[in-house]
């Protein structure tokens, strides 16, 4: 009998070019996404060594991290370094003959949003990008993970990557989500449970009724934050929803090739009884809306919960960690989460900048006004998301409520462009990292779902979305 294999095992096996004596493998890479921040030194390396890009058609470039998100600022990037980095990407695209979406292309957007949108991301492929949130593409049953710049150069030159096989971990989320609880809350609850190093050395496959019930957008949100749980890649087996999402996308196979691809994609699931090194289960029905209180994505609390106190710590190391996070966040410990007031609200990023996220937020705020002390913004994840939202009239709902409606990009997810928090500002954010300084020097980030962020903008503080009317 053939060995029982997990989904990860199957994709891995299909891409092994060579096995080294120590068991590590040279793995073939099907798709390579490139953005302006982590690639200049890689192209420079190629130039210096006189090397070419091995498979230009398997490489797609887009600018996202640095681009300003207002139309005027986009045309006149003032920051000289940002400007240079953007110009360098365009130069590299033309020097090496690569497809590139610049800031004025309708298809431009956050790298992890445009890959799926274009049908560049396909089940069963290996996908890499010099960006840790490449895990997002695992939602399609692709083996996708972030790499460093030297590895970007390696993939450009050889279309392969030297890899040691990770362990298999399965997170099964059983049951149905309560109303108001979303994909974002699922993944934050998982990270809260396993910790930010819980998935280190593993690829996580997400399974169970609650995962199957998610839309492709929701599945991308879950896989996106897999890296926050320490696992480089997340995976969800492709199914009819996956195929429906991809059908007729510009870069997806067409006609007979599509049928052949779907036949293959249907074999991409873990065999019944395949071995997982680690298994975790969660019950979706018991999950509340989640808000992070600290400076690590594992610092999660229920909207009904309280900020932990230093005295709750189990040991000295934990005590120091909580104290440091409380100090940074301007909290004492013991505050009710629902009493925390926010200054800023950010809806966007590769975690929650897709159309479904904007619909969820618009539904919450329709006919209401942003609290007087709050500055709120919505940044669509791509030009196509923006167009779709405008076609549905979502932009009008946001603007009428007092939100700023922006051009696509990473925006305040990481503050490499003009969008950032001022020191001490407290933000309800739909992004993925609440690290110190992530959204701006001394900025204070609380990670939440789009609906929770929208409600916080109206109320001026966190509220339980399950009780929203």
Partner 1 sequence: MDKFTTLTGVAAPLPITNVDTDMIIPKQYLKTIARTGLGAGLFSEMRFKEDGSENPHFVLNKPAYRKATILVAEDNFGCGSSREHAPWALLDYGIRCVISTSFADIFYNNCFQNGILPAKVSPEDLKKLMDDASRGANATLTVDLERQEIKGPDGGVVKFEIAEFNKHCLLNGLDAIGLTLVKSDKIKSFEDKHNTHAWA
Of residues 390-419, those binding ligand SF4 (CB under 6 A):
410, 413-414
In 386-468, where do the E strands start and end?
404-405, 426-429, 444-447
Q: What is the signed CA dihedral for 74, 75, 78, 81, rounded to 10 degrees?
A: 70
Residues 223-262 that bind partner 1 (CB under 8 A): 230, 232, 253, 256-258, 260-261
> Is residue 395 within 8 Å of 389, Cβ to Cβ?
yes
String marking each residue 323-362 x if it binds partner 1 according to CB under 8 A? -x--------------------------------------
Q: Between 10 and 433, whose beta carbon lies closer to ligand SF4? A: 433
Tell me the two tokens of residue 72. 């005027």
Run of H or E including 349? helix 349-352
Which position among 9, 30, 117, 131 is part of the footprint of ligand SF4 (CB under 6 A)? 131
Residue with tokens 């590139």: 100
In terms of CB distance, is 19 or 400 closer to partner 1?
A: 19
Stretch that binds ligand SF4, among 19-27, 109-117, 140-148, 333-341 (CB under 6 A): 109-117
Binding characters for ligand SF4, 284-303, by CB under 6 A (x = yes): --------------------
Distance of alpha carbon 151 from alpha carbon 129, whole angstroms: 9
One DSSP character per residue, 152-212 reads HHHHHHHSEEEEPPPEEEEEEEES-PPTT--HHHHHHHHHHHH-TTTTTTEEEEEESHHHH
Q: What part of residues 44-63 is at the interface with partner 1 (CB under 8 A)?
A: 44-45, 49, 51, 54-55
State the binding partner of 349 from partner 1, ligand SF4, none, CB within 5 to 8 A by kind. ligand SF4
Which of these, 451, 452, 410, lies nearest to 433 by C-alpha position? 410
Place of tokens 């995962």: 211
Instruction: Choose the binding region for partner 1 from 80-88, 98-106, 305-313, 382-390 (rule: CB under 8 A).
Output: 80-88
Query: Which positions from 286 through 315 interact with partner 1, judged by CB under 8 A?
Result: 296
Considering beta carbons, is residue 67 or 401 the nearer one to ligand SF4?
67
Closest distance to ligand SF4 from the beta carbon of 142 (Å): 17
CB-nearer residue toward partner 1: 6 or 38: 38
Cα(169)–Cα(205) distance, integer angstroms: 6
3-state secondary structure 75-133: HCCCCHHHHHHHHHHHHHHHHHCCEEECCCCCCCECHHHHHHHCCCCCCCCEEEECCHH
Q: Which of residues 188-217 bind ligand SF4 (CB under 6 A)?
A: none
Q: Which of positions 96-155 make contact with partner 1 (CB under 8 A)?
A: 122-125, 130-132, 145-151, 153-154
Structure tokens at 30: 């099907």
Q: Is 172 one of the binding residues for partner 1 (CB under 8 A)?
A: no
Q: Binding segment for partner 1 among 94-102, 194-202, 206-214, 400-408 (CB under 8 A)?
A: 194-202
Q: Does 349 bind ligand SF4 (CB under 6 A)?
A: yes
Report in angstroms how near the CB of residue 172 gets to partner 1 at its nearest: 23
Residue 447 CB neighbours (<10 A)? 29
Residues 6 or more apart whose Cβ sits within 8 Å of residue 125: 11, 30, 31, 142, 143
* Total site size for ligand SF4, rule CB under 6 A: 14
- Beta carbon nearer to ligand SF4, 31 or 112: 112
Interface map 427-456 toward ligand SF4 (x if CB under 6 A): ----xx------------------------
Among 56, 175, 178, 201, binds partner 1 (CB under 8 A): 201
Instruction: Measure the CA–CA gap between 104 and 63, rounded to whole angstroms.
Output: 10
Q: How far is the CB of 158 from partner 1 (least distance, A)?
A: 5
Among 110, 194, 415, 421, binds ligand SF4 (CB under 6 A): 110
Is 383 an interacting residue with respect to partner 1 (CB under 8 A)? Answer: no
Could you tell me if 432 and 298 are in contact, meaning their C-beta atoms sit under 8 angstroms apart?
no
Backbone angles phi, psi at 143, to 5 degrees: -85, 105
Dihedral angle, C-alpha 255, 259, 261, 264, nearest 10 °: -170
The contact pattern for partner 1, residues 9-48, with x = CB under 8 A and - = no contact, is -----xx-xx-x-x-x-x-x-x------xx-xx--xx---
Task: Using CB under 6 A, list all residues that contact ligand SF4.
Answer: 64-65, 110-112, 131, 133, 349-350, 410, 413-414, 431-432
């Amino acid at each position: 009998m053939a060995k029982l294999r997990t989904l990860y095992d199957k994709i891995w096996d299909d891409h092994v070019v060579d096995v080294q004596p120590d068991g590590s493998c040279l793995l073939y890479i099907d798709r390579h996404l490139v953005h302006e921040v982590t690639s200049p030194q890689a192209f420079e390396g190629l130039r210096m060594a006189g090397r070419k890009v091995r498979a230009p058609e398997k490489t797609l470039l887009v600018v996202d991290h640095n681009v300003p998100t207002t139309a005027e600022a986009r045309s006149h990037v003032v920051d000289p370094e940002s400007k240079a980095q953007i110009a360098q990407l365009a130069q590299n695209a033309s020097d090496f003959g690569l497809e590139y979406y610049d800031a004025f292309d309708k298809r431009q957007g956050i790298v992890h949003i445009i890959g799926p949108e274009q049908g560049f991301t396909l089940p069963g492929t290996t996908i890499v990008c010099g960006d840790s949130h490449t895990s997002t593409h695992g939602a399609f049953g692709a083996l996708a993970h972030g790499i460093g710049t030297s590895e970007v150069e390696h993939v450009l030159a050889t279309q392969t990557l030297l890899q040691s096989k990770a362990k298999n971990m399965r997170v099964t989320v059983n049951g149905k989500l309560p109303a108001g609880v979303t994909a974002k809350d699922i993944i934050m609850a998982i990270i809260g449970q396993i910790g930010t190093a819980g998935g280190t050395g593993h690829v996580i496959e997400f399974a169970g009724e609650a995962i199957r019930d998610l839309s492709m957008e929701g599945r991308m949100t879950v896989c996106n934050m897999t890296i926050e749980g320490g696992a480089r890649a997340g995976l969800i087996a492709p199914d009819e929803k996956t195929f429906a999402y991809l059908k007729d996308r510009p870069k997806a196979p067409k006609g007979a090739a599509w049928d052949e691809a779907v036949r293959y994609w249907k074999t991409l699931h873990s065999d019944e009884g395949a071995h997982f090194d680690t298994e975790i289960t969660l019950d979706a029905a018991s999950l509340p809306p989640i808000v992070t209180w600290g400076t690590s994505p594992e610092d999660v609390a229920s909207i009904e919960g309280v900020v932990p106190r230093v005295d709750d710590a189990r040991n000295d190391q934990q005590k120091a960690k909580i104290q440091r996070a409380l100090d940074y966040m301007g909290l004492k410990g013991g505050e009710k989460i629902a009493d925390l007031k926010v200054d800023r609200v950010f809806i966007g990023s590769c975690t929650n900048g897709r159309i479904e996220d904007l619909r969820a937020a618009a539904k919450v705020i329709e006919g209401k006004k942003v609290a007087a002390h709050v500055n709120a913004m919505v940044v669509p994840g791509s030009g196509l998301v923006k167009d779709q939202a405008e076609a549905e009239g979502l932009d009008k709902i946001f603007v009428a409520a007092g939100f700023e409606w922006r051009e696509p990009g990473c925006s305040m997810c990481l503050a490499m462009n003009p969008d950032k928090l001022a020191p001490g500002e407290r933000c309800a954010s739909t992004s993925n990292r609440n690290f110190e300084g992530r959204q701006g020097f001394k900025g204070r980030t609380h990670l939440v779902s789009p609906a929770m962020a929208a409600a916080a903008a109206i109320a001026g503080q966190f509220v339980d979305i399950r009780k929203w009317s």
